[in-house]
Chain A
Amino acid sequence: SQTIHQWPATLVQPVGSPLSLECTVEGTSNPNLYWYRQAAGRGLQLLFYSVGIGQISSEVPQNLSASRPQDRQFILSSKKLLLSDSGFYLCAWGAVAYEQYFGPGTRLTVT
């Protein structure tokens, strides 16, 4: 069966510091991968998605970037965090028929 991992689970970072969040998927090959951000009590905002290694589509202009160095690894990065980058970051992998399955999330607080 497929599983998706995210780490770290929680992160507190000062403004201006770099960021690296990692997502890995097990049990499937060549999945579509997605990064979402969720503000407190709000819906899901798609940040990036990838249909293959090295292929990244950005949905909104922002202070973040994404990379896919391996088939089942998706990384969300920032060179300098802003207060507005705080939120709950969710990684998801896409299966057949457009279903998406989410990881446990990373709670990021920028102070």
Chain B
Amino acid sequence: GQQLNQSPQSMFIQEGEDVSMNCTSSSIFNTWLWYKQDPGEGPVLLIALYKAGELTSNGRLTAQFGITRKDSFLNISASIPSDVGIYFCAGQLDFGNEKLTFGTGTRLTIIP
């Protein structure tokens, strides 16, 4: 099946640092979504992107829909302890297809 390559797999940063992660595919996606999952909880939708080149912010988070429609990026500025968790990208491949394809996740850890 279709796969989304998400990188890096894990990140160890200090509080206050900026974070960048990305998701790439060999196929064109029509919608990109970014989720955050805390331990033992369901993923929470952070940002949704619908058009190539779109840049959307949600507080300290900014995500972009790549112009090739084959990738997406998520940046977190000035990280804080509550940013710890696993971040997943997800893409919607075909119009009318009700399924999402999920990336493998980026685990963010903040070093004290």
B-binding residues in A (CB < 8 A): 32, 34, 42-44, 46, 49, 51, 59, 88, 90, 92, 94, 97-105, 107
Chain B residues contacting A42 (CB-CB under 8 Å) are 104-105
17 further contact pairs, Cβ within 8 A, besides A43-B104, A98-B30: A32-B98, A34-B99, A43-B88, A43-B102, A43-B105, A44-B88, A49-B98, A49-B99, A51-B98, A59-B99, A88-B40, A98-B33, A102-B42, A102-B43, A102-B44, A105-B40, A105-B41
Which residues of B (49-106) have their CB < 8 Å from a CB of A?
Answer: 50, 88, 90, 92, 98-100, 102-105
- Given A43-B104, A43-B105, the answer on whether A98 and B42 have CB atoms closer than 8 Å is no
> Per-position contact with A for B17-52: 1 when CB-CB < 8 Å, else 0?
000000000000011010100001111110010100
Chain A residues contacting B100 (CB-CB under 8 Å) are 46, 98, 100
Chain A residues contacting B41 (CB-CB under 8 Å) are 104-105
CA distance A102 to B35 in the complex (A): 10
CA distance A107 to B40 in the complex (A): 8
The range of chain B's interface size is: 20 to 34
- Given A43-B102, A43-B104, A44-B102, the answer on whether A98 and B92 have CB atoms closer than 8 Å is yes
CA distance A90 to B43 in the complex (A): 9
- Given A97-B31, A97-B48, A98-B31, the answer on whether A105 and B42 have CB atoms closer than 8 Å is yes
CB pair A103–B48 under 8 Å, yes or no, is no
CB pair A99–B33 under 8 Å, yes or no, is yes
CA distance A43 to B1 in the complex (A): 14
Residue in B closest to A59 when the chains form the complex, CB atoms: B99
CA distance A67 to B99 in the complex (A): 18
Residue in B closest to A88 when the chains form the complex, CB atoms: B40
- Closest-CB distance, B48 to chain A (whole angstroms): 5
CA distance A59 to B43 in the complex (A): 20
